Structure 1
Amino acid sequence: MLLVPLLIWGGSIGYRIFALYNTMFDEAEHDDTSDFDDSLSQEIGELAPEPEDEETLSRVDRIRRDMDELYAQPKSEKDPNLLNILLLGVDGPRADTIMIAQYNKQTEEAAMLSIPRDTYVKIPERGYDKINHAHAFGGVNRQRTTIEDFLDIHIDHYARIDMESFERMIDVLGGVEVYVANDIIDNTDGSVFMHKGTHHLNGSEALHYVRFRSDNRGDFGRIERQQQVMMAIMDELTKASNVTRYLQIMEEISPFVRTDITPTVVTNNWRAFNSLSSSNVQSETLSGGSLMINGIYYLEVDMKKARNKAQNLTY
């Protein structure tokens, strides 16, 4: 990747890089409710509904009680060895893709943790709901706080991209290559969504690939495909071996990306950013069990295990 040399290079190249960063930069220090309206409130509800049957109510009460005990514990100190970056793919007001990219300065290990969007958590100032609704209620800041409280980690920075703009980014990169280990079957009609083998996907195809969830693995299959395409994007970015190409990529994607990562942050953490490629980044996903409340699906994740995984991804 050429980012650091470009950032410290003087003249018009350096100026253009800093100008591009200015269009993407947003500290997101406060809640942003600009995307929230009455129609959205009707769609997702103010909060997750209270269970109507006694058996579910008893189970949910137990889940909340156990989670409340963990939420009430003192927050852990920030681990000075870890750099955690929140990666968000936003589809409308809600976060469709939620990942934590972690780099350990001590072990020089890098990892990526996906958080299923249906994960049942407590959203600050709202209550228990799906984790991806936090973005609708308060933007990046509320989403970040929700994740920090749930996983008991410190998120250093974030990067957010609109999922529709994801297509354009892939096309600018010239597409991405993915390997499909087995035929992916669409359970809705029994057809083959994608055949086994290596595929070179353009933007539209890649977006369809990461959104597909109608196979036997449901949302977990979708998450696996998201991780796969994210790794492919990293690999394509490392191939941007000339200044003109790199600037073209940045100029195309900058209108659709928001981040609080500054050029200084990149320079100070160059080893971390330069290490991100499919060959040396392990991928993990939070798992759990089905929780149905009045016909609405949530993912019940063991909060203790989730915290342990997030805090020890790269140790």
Structure 2
Amino acid sequence: MQAHETQTAEKATYANRLPAGKPLKRKAWKRLGLGLLLLLIAGGVWLTGLARSLDPQTHFRSLAGNALTVPLPVAPEDTEPASSDAEPSGPSNFPAERSAALAPSPAAAAASPAPATASSSFNVVLIGTDTWGDEHARADTIMVAHVMPEKRKVNVVSIPRDTRVYVQGVGYTKINHAHIVGENKGGNRQGTLTLVQAVSDFLGIPVHQYMKTDFAGVIDFIDSMGGLDMVVEQDVTITPEITIKRGAQRLDGQHVLFLARERYTLADGDFGRQREQFRIVRAAAKQLLRPEHLPDLAGLLRTGRDDILDTSFADSDLLSLAWLFRGMEAEDFTYEQIPGKDQFGHDPLVGDEVYYWSADQGQVRSIRERLFQE
């Protein structure tokens, strides 16, 4: 009995000697666990909010009421292009018809942003300039995309660079002249905006976003992805020493640029070149989102932004676009070109008769109604 009492006393004495914090060890772990739980909940809420903000169906909804450009009044032509007996040419699903020049609506003529709508669809102009560096540039490639996030569809139209359009403050000239006109007035960004306004006036649509690159940007971006997988529809001879063979192959940035620029060896010339440019853009978007690229998608997008000369897209916009394009197939893209005919007419910038692609305005109206309205 005495030994038991002695052991009990020793245990009590030992307990009294323990640091004050020791009995609270279990409570401390409870507090730490509660803190981690709250952190996980907060992180989950943040990630959920981020996912919702990048969801294309909601991310781009505000663009409908915040167009960068809307169609402005276009002055009537003082003189028509020199007469031509050629029938309208170029691919079209509709019979050729003639009509007056597209007249902007009163709301568009007021140049005020359209009211916000429930739609998340928007229009973006894609521009490729014909330079390698800082020199003044013309627009070598012009494509306009109507992006429909809710339907996961994209309609794309190529505008030939020689298309005769009205450029504000200049008059009727080639659409690829619009960029250099703006550059001469206010530098690179003004060149972009002047061209985007000419596109808006020509198609009679608002433009919400734009993206512009040059030759070097194309090469660098394609090479950053390790090349571009393409199915080339025919042999394309660039020089006597360089031919891009028909069939499936991986092209580096230089050969992608060769393919995007070549028109002389294609059966339908510039229209064939426009189709190849569209196929390159579609293939690049699809390849960017392959599983092997997804872990470094943010890095690739940063590289892409470095190769872009000018864009209105924010980084979050590019991530949302990547989300949209993931899983889209060739049938989700609709592609058309501008029908018209070859003509010659006076150019106020050149001061002489020049070659134009004279667009069939009835077909332009049809394209606007079918591809840019829902």
2:283 pairs, out of 200, 219, 232, with: 232
Residue 104 (structure 1) aligns with: 148
Contact 1:91–1:163, Cα closer than 8 Å, also in 2: yes
- CA–CA distance in structure 2, aligned partners of residues 69 and 56 of structure 1: 13
- Residues 1:125 and 2:169 aligned together: yes
Unaligned runs of 5+ in 2: 1-46, 52-65, 70-77, 85-97, 132-136, 183-190, 346-351
Q: CA deviation at 1:273?
A: 5.0
Residue 36 (structure 1) aligns with: none
Unaligned runs of 5+ in 1: 10-26, 31-49, 60-65
Q: CA deviation at 1:110?
A: 1.6
1:190-205 correspondence runs (5 A)? 193-205=243-255
- CA–CA distance in structure 2, aligned partners of residues 273 and 195 of structure 1: 28
Q: Which residue identity lines up with residue 279 of structure 2 in the other structure?
A: Q
Q: Percent identity?
A: 26
TM-score by length of 1: 0.71
- Residues 1:206 and 2:256 aligned together: yes
Q: CA deviation at 1:205?
A: 0.7
Q: Which residue identity lines up with residue 102 of structure 2 in the other structure?
A: L
1:31-110 correspondence runs (5 A)? 57=82, 69-71=101-103, 74=106, 78=114, 80=117, 81=119, 82-92=121-131, 93-105=137-149, 107-110=151-154
Evaluate the alpha carbon distance shift between residue 125 and residue 132 of structure 1 in structure 2; reply closer, same or farther with a 3 A threshold. same
Evaluate the alpha carbon distance shift between residue 122 and residue 96 of structure 1 in structure 2; reply closer, same or farther with a 3 A threshold. same
Contact 2:82–2:344, Cα closer than 8 Å, also in 1: no
- CA–CA distance in structure 2, aligned partners of residues 181 and 269 of structure 1: 28
Q: CA deviation at 1:210?
A: 0.7
Q: CA deviation at 1:102?
A: 1.1
- CA–CA distance in structure 2, aligned partners of residues 184 and 291 of structure 1: 27
Evaluate the alpha carbon distance shift between residue 8 and residue 302 of structure 1 in structure 2; reply closer, same or farther with a 3 A threshold. same
Residue 251 (structure 1) aligns with: 302
User: Bigger shift: 107-116 or 226-235?
Assistant: 107-116
Q: CA deviation at 1:150?
A: 0.9
1:290-309 correspondence runs (5 A)? 290-293=342-345, 296-309=354-367
1:268-279 correspondence runs (5 A)? 272-274=324-326, 278-279=330-331
Q: CA deviation at 1:120?
A: 0.8
Q: Which residue identity lines up with residue 85 of structure 1 in the other structure?
A: V
Cα-Cα RMSD: 3.6
Q: CA deviation at 1:267?
A: 7.0
Contact 1:240–1:246, Cα closer than 8 Å, also in 2: no
- CA–CA distance in structure 2, aligned partners of residues 205 and 168 of structure 1: 12
Q: CA deviation at 1:264?
A: 5.0
Q: Which residue identity lines up with residue 229 of structure 1 in the other structure?
A: I
TM-score by length of 2: 0.60
- CA–CA distance in structure 2, aligned partners of residues 250 and 271 of structure 1: 12
- CA–CA distance in structure 2, aligned partners of residues 270 and 166 of structure 1: 18
- Residues 1:287 and 2:339 aligned together: yes
Contact 2:142–2:161, Cα closer than 8 Å, also in 1: yes
Contact 1:110–1:275, Cα closer than 8 Å, also in 2: no
- Residues 1:143 and 2:143 aligned together: no
- CA–CA distance in structure 1, aligned partners of residues 162 and 219 of structure 2: 24
Q: Which residue identity lines up with residue 226 of structure 1 in the other structure?
A: Q
- Residues 1:176 and 2:228 aligned together: yes
- CA–CA distance in structure 1, aligned partners of residues 289 and 320 of structure 2: 19
Q: CA deviation at 1:225?
A: 0.8
- Residues 1:167 and 2:225 aligned together: no
SS at match of 1:200: strand
Evaluate the alpha carbon distance shift between residue 78 and residue 153 of structure 1 in structure 2; reply closer, same or farther with a 3 A threshold. farther
Contact 1:235–1:278, Cα closer than 8 Å, also in 2: no
Q: CA deviation at 1:69?
A: 4.7
SS at match of 2:207: coil
- CA–CA distance in structure 2, aligned partners of residues 270 and 78 of structure 1: 26
- Structure with greater Cα Rg: 2
Deviations 1:185-223 (A, max 9, x none): 67x98x994332112100011101111111221111111
Evaluate the alpha carbon distance shift between residue 122 and residue 104 of structure 1 in structure 2; reply closer, same or farther with a 3 A threshold. same
Evaluate the alpha carbon distance shift between residue 268 and residue 179 of structure 1 in structure 2; reply closer, same or farther with a 3 A threshold. closer
Q: Which residue identity lines up with residue 151 of structure 1 in the other structure?
A: L
Contact 1:174–1:202, Cα closer than 8 Å, also in 2: yes
